Amino acid sequence: MSQLSDGQLVRQLQLGGLGALGVLYDRHRQLVFRTALGITGDPEAAADLLQDVFLRLHRFSHRIDTNRPLQPWLYRTTTNLTYSWIKRRHRWSRFINEMATSLSRDGKPGNARAVERDNDEWLSVQQALRSLPIAQRVVVVLYYLNDLSLQETSEVLKIPVGTVKSRLHYGRIALKKQLGLDRERLQEVGYEFM
C-alpha cells in the first residue's frame, strides 16, 4: 500500500480504507508537524494540530480532489488550524511559548561549546521568528522551513504572489533587525531551518 500515490490513497480513504490514512500519516506527518511547530512554537500544540489535520483528512476526504497533489491541502489545513490555535491561545495568554528546544541541533559530546553557541543562536532565531506578526511568520515558515516556492505559498494561503513577496520582505527586515544580522547572514540562518 505504501507504493500507492497520495491520490490513490485518498480514493481508498474515501471508500472507507483506514489503512490508507495510516500510510498518508506516515508519509506526511513530519511536514505537518514541522509547519505547526514553526508557526506555534509549541511542541505540544504542534502534536495536537498534527492529529487534528489527519482527523480532518479522514473526515473531509470526500471533498479532496484526488487528481491534485495532497501537500497543498495539508499545508492549508495546518496553517488554518494554527491560526485558530493562536487566536484561542492569544485570548488566554499575551505571549506564545518559546519554540521547542528539540529543534536545536544536537552536537557531538566533545564539542559542547559549539553546541551551546548553536543552541543560543537557534534560540535567538526562534525568538525573532516569534516576534513576527502571524501573517509574516506563516509565510516565513512555509517558505524557509518547508521550502515552498512563492507560487506554492501563494496557493496554500490563497493570497496573491505579490502579497507573499511583501510578507517575506517585511518578515526578513524584521528578522534582520531582531537578530542584528546583515543580509548574507540572514540567508544562512534561513536555510538552517530546513
Would the pLDDT of 153 be above 60?
yes
Rounded Cα gap, residues 117 and 125, in angstroms: 12
Q: Is the pTM of this model over 0.85?
A: no
Cα 67 from chain centroid? 24
> For 90-147, how does the pLDDT look when each residue is reduced to its tens digit (9 = 90+)?
544 443 233 333 333 333 344 444 445 556 776 777 788 888 898 898 898 888 878 8
Kindly list the domain boundaries of the chain, sorted by start residue.
6-92, 109-192
Give yes or no for a contact between 111 and 117, defined as CB atoms under 8 angstroms apart.
no
**Same fold for the pair 6-92 and 109-192:** no
DSSP letter string, 39-99: HH--HHHHHHHHHHHHHHHHHTGGGS-TTS-SHHHHHHHHHHHHHHHHHHHHHH-SSPPPP
Fold category of 109-192 in CATH: Arc Repressor Mutant, subunit A (1.10.10)
The rounded distance, in Å, linking the Cα atoms of 53 and 35 is 11
pLDDT per position as a tens digit, 47-57 = 999 999 999 99
CATH class of 6-92: mainly alpha
9: buried, middle or exposed (CB in 10 Å: 19+, 13-18, 0-12)? buried
pLDDT of 102 reads 31
